[in-house]
């Protein structure tokens, strides 16, 4: 399976670089970086020289649609990411991963042989709460094709059928062309998916008052030996604009130790 990273904007910070590099180090399959426009970033330029990384520019076909024109700020980039990611995996299969994520170990073994997709459970308290980061799609999945068809319909201005709706007061809601059509279809097809336990594809934070990164519980102990990947958006209360080499170097916390261990191939031998 290929891990598919998608870059939709002009920024490509150090955290994105770490996300791609840790995937290359720890994932047993291919790693590919798709981009809408080439970022003016030294980290992006470094990645262009990495032999194991595949890179490809991809176009967005719905730039002129009225729904897209009405989007503002981060919603535009999230919608592009969702559309591209599901287009890719619905056609080719593969893994959806956020650029701001750290790969600790491979997780392809979690997809059962008789299932079309692996999905991550997000909460023990909410049984049907699932996320998209870490989703694995088997090539030829009819479920993934249905999800992408729904997304394509939404960006053309059509409302969804199902538990969650894509529009409110005539405007696309956050995730309306991504997580919402994904969840609607998953709820209807639970027999076709494997479910990764809480924390395995996201880490768990037992203390939400913690500041900064909380990839560990205490004294350098990993949250769980079963964690395979941690999306930083779900594992930090830090302002990511401040996360660079100096931030990590001067943090004095175990996040720096984690990165060092990953880059030196000292994290769990799987």
Min mean pLDDT across 34-43, 75-84, 135-144, 231-240 is at 231-240
| pLDDT of 109 higher than 90 | yes
| pLDDT of 2 higher than 50 | yes
Angstrom CA distances, 97 to 84, 167, 241, stand at 12, 25, 20
Whole-number Å distance between alpha carbons of 58 and 56: 6
Cβ neighbours around 106 below 10 Å, total: 17
Residue 196: pLDDT band by 50, 70, 90 thresholds?
very high
What pairs with residue 117 in β-bridges? Answer: 137, 193
- Does domain 3-197 fall under CATH 3.90.550.20? My reply is yes
- Tokens, residue 257: 């130790």
Q: What is the pTM of this model?
A: 0.84
- Tokens, residue 93: 């299969």
Phi, psi of 133 (to 5 degrees): -65, 125
> Would the CA dihedral through 94, 97, 103, 107 be positive or negative?
negative
Judge contact between 81 and 6, C-beta under 8 A.
yes
Residue 146: pLDDT band by 50, 70, 90 thresholds?
very high
Q: Taking Cα atoms as reference points, which of 66, 76, 68 lies closest to residue 10?
A: 76
72: left (phi over 0), alpha (psi -120 to 50) or beta: beta
Q: Taking Cα atoms as reference points, which of 175, 121, 125, 119 lies closest to residue 150?
A: 175
pLDDT > 90: what percent of the chain?
49
What pairs with residue 196 in β-bridges? Answer: 120
Half-sphere exposure of 11 (CA within 13 A, CB side): 9
Q: Taking Cα atoms as reference points, which of 211, 214, 212, 218 lies closest to residue 203?
A: 214
Q: Taking Cα atoms as reference points, which of 161, 26, 9 lies closest to residue 103?
A: 26
pLDDT of residue 98: 92
């Amino acid at each position: 399976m290929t891990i598919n990273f998608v870059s939709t904007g002009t920024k490509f910070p150090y955290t994105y670089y770490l996300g791609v590099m840790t995937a290359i180090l720890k994932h047993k399959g291919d790693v590919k970086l798709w981009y809408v426009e080439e970022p003016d970033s030294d980290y992006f330029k470094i990645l262009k020289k990495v032999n194991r990384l595949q890179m490809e520019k991809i176009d967005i076909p719905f730039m002129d649609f009225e729904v897209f024109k009405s989007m503002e700020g981060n919603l535009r980039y999230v919608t592009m990411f969702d559309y591209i990611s599901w287009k890719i995996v619905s056609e080719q299969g593969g893994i959806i991963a956020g650029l701001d994520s750290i790969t600790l170990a491979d997780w392809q073994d979690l997809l059962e042989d008789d299932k079309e997709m692996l999905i991550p459970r997000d909460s023990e308290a909410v049984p049907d709460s699932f996320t998209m980061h870490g989703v694995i799609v088997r090539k030829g999945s009819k479920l993934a094709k249905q999800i992408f068809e729904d997304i394509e319909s939404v960006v053309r201005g059509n409302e969804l059928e199902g538990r969650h709706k894509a529009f409110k007061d005539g405007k696309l809601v956050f995730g309306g062309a991504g997580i919402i059509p994904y969840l609607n279809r998953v709820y209807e097809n639970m027999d076709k998916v494997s479910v990764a336990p809480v924390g395995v594809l996201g880490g768990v934070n037992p203390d939400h008052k913690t500041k900064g990164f909380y990839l560990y519980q205490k004294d350098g102990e990993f949250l769980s030996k079963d964690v395979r990947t941690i999306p930083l958006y779900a594992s930090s209360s830090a302002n990511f604009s401040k996360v660079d080499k100096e931030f990590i170097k001067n943090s004095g916390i175990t996040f720096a130790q984690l990165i060092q261990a990953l880059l030196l191939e000292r994290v769990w031998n799987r």
